[in-house]
Amino acid sequence: MNSQYTIAVHCLIVLAKTPDHVWNSESLSQKVHAHPARIRKIMSSLRKNGLVETKEGLGGGYRMGCDPRACTLARIYQSISCEPLKLSWCATGCAQDPEFDRIRSVMDFAFTGAERGLEEYLDHWSIDSLIKRTEQSVTQEPETMAAGINEQMNAHIKKIGGEG
Amino acid sequence: MNSQYTIAVHCLIVLAKTPDHVWNSESLSQKVHAHPARIRKIMSSLRKNGLVETKEGLGGGYRMGCDPRACTLARIYQSISCEPLKLSWCATGCAQDPEFDRIRSVMDFAFTGAERGLEEYLDHWSIDSLIKRTEQSVTQEPETMAAGINEQMNAHIKKIGGEG
DNA sequence: TAAACTGTATCTATTATAATTACACTAATC
DNA sequence: GATTAGTGTAATTATAATAGATACAGTTTA
Ligand code: FES
Ligand code: FES
């Protein structure tokens, strides 16, 4: 998972906490420790997905573009499209091998399911819930959430037929 | 997901299909299109996790070290420890910021759950089930198989993209 | 002892990622 | 309408991650 994702989340937390303030790329970059041009690029992706509002010109900048309760880690994930589960195959020579094609199809199939499960899981976390959690200092074990998601994954397996 | 993982899976499929044969790193490397030294390194990790048997010396090499039905994508994932969901943070300056520490804790918490869910999902796929699936696709027309998978993938995409 | 292997470290090449620079375009204000 | 402060985005450079290549110590068989 590249840092674009964590920076995007960090920025959205900052924006959600200050709904009335317009941040420019310079001030945001200081807040989240990344280069202003990089902030602009990331914010631009988030704008295209309706997560932030951007405004050009004098006095312009960034502000929250959606309800923090609806701004889930899944939507951010889709906006950034970092594809951490994308399979990478060896550099050369795979194309000619028909056996390899079949292996790749099946693996891609399995990991499409994995990706979908991940997105469903991430959909349970919103910027709002993250902020609330940072405000409570006590942490609870992740078991509960993992258990809930396991049900969904089992449903998915059943639907697409993981085991034979 | 780096290619170590796909190479490991590929090798295990080869080994599982030929339980009586001992492959050396040279012959395996030709089969899966990677450098022999890399194969040795990957096989070494798999041996440490009991997935393959390795033998040094003359006539040595690699063979399957477990039941292909028990050799799940999760166990391979754990052996390779590629950590695709590991969060990466911006390079500099995060350490001093106490607010950042809390954000990182919560994000780590969320993604620990994601990782567990992923491993539980991957535990439903075994080398044996992958092989069976590749054999199904042989008996079927390859285009039908490809179309079927595409349908599944499109259904996933539709569901995911539909909210936007 | 020689041959054929794995195991592993190290160096180099390649690729992916991030930082930086640059500049066209936009909008507010004087 | 000119100036100023901002985004959007491409191009370049620097850095980090990954993969390939080489080398050689250790192991087993013959
Ligand atoms: S942490 Fe969000 S950026 Fe340093
Ligand atoms: S390695 Fe080329 S594909 Fe398994």
**pLDDT tens-digit readout, A98-140:** 888 889 899 999 999 999 999 999 999 999 999 999 998 554 5
Q: Could you tell me which of A68, A106, A138 has the C-alpha nearest to residue B145?
A: A106
A70 inside 8 A of chain B by CB: no
Axis-axis angle for helices A98-122, B3-17 (nearest 10):
130
How do B61-64 and B52-55 pair as beta strands? antiparallel
A68 DSSP assignment = T
Query: What integer pLDDT is reported at residue A159 of this predicted model?
Result: 46
How many angstroms separate the CA of residue B3 from the nearest CA in chain A? Answer: 5
- Report the residue of chain B nearest A123, measured CA to CA: B160
Query: What integer pLDDT is reported at residue B33 of this predicted model?
Result: 87
Query: What integer pLDDT is reported at residue B85 of this predicted model?
Result: 93
Could you list the beta-strand ranges (E) of chain B: 52-55, 61-64
How many angstroms separate the CA of residue A59 from the nearest CA in chain B? Answer: 27
Handedness of CA B71, B72, B75, B81 (dihedral sign): positive
Select the CATH number that applies to the domain covering A3-160 from these four: 3.40.50.2300, 3.40.1390.10, 1.10.287.70, 1.10.10.10: 1.10.10.10
From the C1' of D7, which residue's alpha carbon is nearest?
A56
* CB proximity B36–strand C (7 Å threshold): yes
Boundaries of every domain in chain A: 3-160
Using the predicted structure, report yes or no on whether residue A153 has a pLDDT greater than 90: no
Query: What integer pLDDT is reported at residue A51 of this predicted model?
Result: 98
Q: From the centroid of its chain, how far is CA B63?
A: 18
CA distances from A145 to A28, A125, A141 (A): 31, 10, 9
The tokens for B136 are: 């199904």
Q: Report chain A's mean pLDDT, rounded to a whole number.
A: 84
pLDDT confidence tier of residue A162, bands split at 50, 70 and 90? very low
Q: What is the average pLDDT across B49-72?
A: 97
Among B1, B2, B4, B7, residue to substitute to test ligand 2 (most atoms within 8 Å of Cβ):
B7
Q: Which residue has the higher pLDDT, A56 or B144?
A: A56
Query: Which amino acid appears at position B106 of this protein?
Result: V
- Of A41-45, A144-148, A157-161, B99-103, which has the strongest mean pLDDT? A41-45
Using the predicted structure, report yes or no on whether residue B147 has a pLDDT greater than 50: no
What is the rounded distance in angstroms from the CA atom of residue A66 to the CA atom of residue B65? 52
Any idea of the CA torsion for B86, B91, B96, B97, to the nearest 10 degrees? -60
Q: What is the average pLDDT across B63-80?
A: 97
Q: Which residues pair with B52 in a beta bridge?
A: B64
Question: Do B69 and B78 meet the contact criterion of CB atoms below 8 Å apart?
Answer: no
Neighbours of A119 (CB within 10 A): 19
Question: Do B42 and B4 meet the contact criterion of CB atoms below 8 Å apart?
Answer: yes
**pLDDT tens-digit readout, B5-42:** 999 999 999 999 999 999 999 999 999 889 999 999 99
Using the predicted structure, report yes or no on whether residue B161 has a pLDDT greater than 60: no
- Report the residue of chain A nearest B156, measured CA to CA: A116
Question: Do B59 and B94 meet the contact criterion of CB atoms below 8 Å apart?
Answer: no
What is the rounded distance in angstroms from the CA atom of residue B25 to the CA atom of residue B139? 31
What is the rounded distance in angstroms from the CA atom of residue A54 to the CA atom of residue A114? 33
**pLDDT tens-digit readout, B78-116:** 999 888 999 988 755 555 678 888 998 999 999 999 999
Using the predicted structure, report yes or no on whether residue B129 has a pLDDT greater than 80: yes
pLDDT confidence tier of residue A91, bands split at 50, 70 and 90? low
Question: Do B84 and A85 meet the contact criterion of CB atoms below 8 Å apart?
Answer: yes
